[in-house]
Chains A and B, each alone.
Chain A
């Protein structure tokens, strides 16, 4: 067994003179769910596309199962769930899978039994002969996950697997992804949803401006970078009002728009003060991955690239 499924050594990518990946290093152990997080334009997609051979690596060493990512044959061990739906709209559900199996050179007989299994897995067995166009968003996404598994891959790469899904559909997808991990598959996931990353990832990197800001297990990262407790407050008049509210307390203040975030090891005193001011709405909660993410990448709005 190899030590790492993916390894990146000083990987760089430039489009013209614009460098979008600036020398990243990481490796992914087998059997874990690895998250790639970052704001829009951070380089997540480029990092994924390079891994999948859809974008040539400008510099550095990017390896998949010990082979360079440009090696086409290594992709027979990878399954991909893209962000944009590219199912074949002209085909039924089972034909979608059958045709896709063909790209991997899987025989019709082998594909047949595999498809049955996968449709069970994706809870789509009853709809096998329905056209793809009749499926809901959640079903389509499950079908894409099933399609990514047709070649029984060791690594599954998912680009924002639950974007645009309702909570029920999202939880069903998450549950399926966890069961894949339990089967010993390695998962790589890019996402904007901190909740999703916290739920699924054993390890993650946060990427911004083409560099890795931090790496580790979600809970450990939160403990390392963010104070354990947060009070989020709305209704404060201005910055002066906010600082006066926290006066004399050991609190780090931050805000997005009209919401103020107060971070500290102990916020009981602040909570008492807030409760005395009836015009304020506030919530007291433990620090989350989102707090970490915002602390590291800043609170400014990002333009879509």
Chain B
């Protein structure tokens, strides 16, 4: 079966279903999107920033804000691709109800992935506004370009999350993914400090991880740091998005179409 056989109206219908659910509880959901990163920025950006001063030549608040933009895009898309998608796949039978219509499994995965990225964009925009107010954005001319990048970051993390979702026996399984993948990236991919302070071996590993490339793209866009090799970073993120999509489609088909 060709996994790229996607009818756009089917993908949109899946996306729209999730959007309509979100819309009903948009207020509460947005509060969650704002809350966590806002506290990080306030607590670490101001608190820690007071002692640190500048990092890599820019104020710590700006350094951290760009990192949090990326990590929250990662978290939002990951949560959506794991917990929310699992509920729809396993608990509510939503995917199965779609599969008896002309919608195919790869269209469901694509719709879910794009929806997860949309949520990254929504929460990313919220943080963008907060960061702007707290002085985390130095360069407004290029800063808005960070938003489409956040969407791409969402796609890059939603794909692998959906693949994990498709093989997961229960919600508890997701903890492994957080401990083994999400948390290490959060700590070692340049969100809080530049990765060149790390041992060479760790740096090498970090270079293979999507969050490193997300940070390397977003930080120069919102701060005065120079942008280096943007297409490399875009390509790595796109690669994660596409490979994640293919793997998730394959695994979800294996799980549901037996």
**Given A55-B257, A95-B20, A89–B92 Cβ distance below 8 Å?**
yes
For residues 79 through 110 of chain B, which have their beta carbon under 8 Å from a beta carbon of chain A? 92-94, 96-104
Complex CA–CA separation, A78 to B102 (angstroms)? 10
CB < 8 Å neighbour of B97 from A53, A82, A151: A82
A103 pairs with B92, CB closer than 8 A: no
Contacts of A85 in B (CB 8 A): 93
Distance in angstroms from A91 CB to nearest chain B CB is: 7
Q: CB-nearest residue of chain A relative to B104?
A: A72
B21 pairs with A103, CB closer than 8 A: no
Task: Kindly state whether residue B235 has any CB partner on chain A within 8 Å.
Answer: no
B21 pairs with A78, CB closer than 8 A: no
Task: Kindly state whether residue A66 has any CB partner on chain B within 8 Å.
Answer: no
Distance in angstroms from B107 CB to nearest chain A CB is: 9
B102 pairs with A104, CB closer than 8 A: yes
How big is the B interface, by class? 20 to 34
Interface residues of chain B: helix, strand, loop or mixed (majority) = helix
Complex CA–CA separation, A53 to B13 (angstroms)? 20
Question: Quick one: CB contact mask for A72-113 with B, threshold 8 Å, 1 for yes?
Answer: 110110101010111011110001000110111100000000
Contacts of B98 in A (CB 8 A): 103
A54 pairs with B99, CB closer than 8 A: yes
Task: Kindly state whether residue B213 has any CB partner on chain A within 8 Å.
Answer: no
Q: CB-nearest residue of chain A relative to B101?
A: A103
B258 pairs with A103, CB closer than 8 A: no
CB < 8 Å neighbour of A88 from B13, B17, B96: B17
A54 pairs with B93, CB closer than 8 A: no
Contacts of B14 in A (CB 8 A): 103
For residues 85 through 141 of chain B, which have their beta carbon under 8 Å from a beta carbon of chain A? 92-94, 96-104
Contacts of B92 in A (CB 8 A): 86, 88-89
**Given A103-B13, A103-B103, A91–B20 Cβ distance below 8 Å?**
yes
A86 pairs with B258, CB closer than 8 A: no
CB < 8 Å neighbour of A15 from B12, B21, B94, B258: B258
B9 pairs with A99, CB closer than 8 A: no
A86 pairs with B99, CB closer than 8 A: no
Contacts of B99 in A (CB 8 A): 52-54
Number of residues on chain A facing chain B (CB within 8 A)? 28
Complex CA–CA separation, A85 to B103 (angstroms)? 19
Q: CB-nearest residue of chain A relative to B14?
A: A103
**Given A52-B100, A72-B104, A80-B100, A99–B20 Cβ distance below 8 Å?**
yes
Distance in angstroms from B99 CB to nearest chain A CB is: 6
Complex CA–CA separation, A86 to B98 (angstroms)? 10
Task: Kindly state whether residue A56 has any CB partner on chain B within 8 Å.
Answer: yes
Distance in angstroms from A86 CB to nearest chain B CB is: 3
Contacts of A55 in B (CB 8 A): 257-258
Q: CB-nearest residue of chain B relative to A99?
A: B17
B16 pairs with A102, CB closer than 8 A: yes
Distance in angstroms from A58 CB to nearest chain B CB is: 11
B257 pairs with A103, CB closer than 8 A: no
Contacts of A95 in B (CB 8 A): 20
B257 pairs with A104, CB closer than 8 A: no
B21 pairs with A88, CB closer than 8 A: yes
Q: CB-nearest residue of chain B relative to A84?
A: B93
Contacts of A73 in B (CB 8 A): 102
A103 pairs with B20, CB closer than 8 A: no
B100 pairs with A100, CB closer than 8 A: no
**Given A80-B100, A86-B96, A102–B13 Cβ distance below 8 Å?**
yes
Complex CA–CA separation, A103 to B102 (angstroms)? 7
Task: Kindly state whether residue B30 has any CB partner on chain A within 8 Å.
Answer: no
Q: CB-nearest residue of chain B relative to A74?
A: B102
**4 residue pairs, one from A and one from B, having the closest CB atoms:** A86-B93, A103-B101, A102-B13, A80-B100
Task: Spell out A's residues near B (CB within 8 Å).
Answer: 15, 52-56, 72-73, 75-76, 78, 80, 82, 84-86, 88-91, 95, 99-100, 102-105, 151
A/B interface sample: 23 pairs, CB < 8 A: A15-B258, A53-B99, A54-B96, A54-B100, A54-B256, A72-B102, A75-B100, A75-B102, A76-B101, A82-B93, A86-B94, A86-B97, A88-B21, A88-B94, A91-B21, A102-B12, A102-B13, A102-B16, A102-B17, A103-B10, A103-B98, A103-B103, A105-B10
Task: Spell out B's residues near A (CB within 8 Å).
Answer: 9-10, 12-14, 16-17, 20-21, 24, 92-94, 96-104, 256-258
